[in-house]
Amino acid sequence: MQQQTEFLSPEKLQLFLAGLSGLAPEEVRKAKILYIRNAISEYRAMIDSFAGFGQAQGCMSIIPFFWPVMGAQKRIIGAQLRLAKERIRNAIDVWREDLKGERFQLDDEEIVA
């Protein structure tokens, strides 16, 4: 599950930013907007995959033996989703000047750069 939040890890961002060197400012802006939009898409896909996983857990919930494991898995999933969302917000905050005027929809929240 950890790999699913890697799309905005500091390492991935450094590689992405290194690839932008030498580009015109408008091209850098477009690339950053696309990067954030793709990160949001990956976040949404992660939510959907976790929802499918949760349905599979429902079958196991009838057996009390699995309850502690399922509780731990739910906490891990929640932590991964929070991390992904925070990383998206952080990237928007750091790039706010380049993203000025853009709007991003993250769950029920609209973020205006």
Would you list the domain boundaries of the chain? 2-112
For residue 5, the model assigns a pLDDT of: 60
- Quick: pLDDT tens for 67-99: 888 888 889 999 999 999 999 999 999 999 999
- Quick: pLDDT tens for 40-63: 999 999 998 888 777 767 777 778
- Amino acid identity, residue 112? V
Model confidence at 102, pLDDT cuts 50, 70, 90, reads: very high
- Of the candidates 14, 31, 33, 21, the one whose C-alpha atom is nearest the C-alpha of residue 88 is 33
Q: What is d(CA 24, CA 105) in angstroms, rounded to the nearest whole number?
A: 27
**E strands along the chain, which residues?**
103-106, 109-112
**What average pLDDT does this structure show over 8-33?**
92
pLDDT at 7 over 80: no
| pTM of the full structure | 0.82
State how far Cα 94 lies from the chain centre.
16
pLDDT at 2 over 80: no
- Quick: pLDDT tens for 34-44: 999 999 999 99
Q: What is d(CA 91, CA 99) in angstroms, rounded to the nearest whole number?
A: 10
Q: Are 9 and 86 in contact (CB under 8 A)?
A: no
Which two tokens mark 61? 């919930």
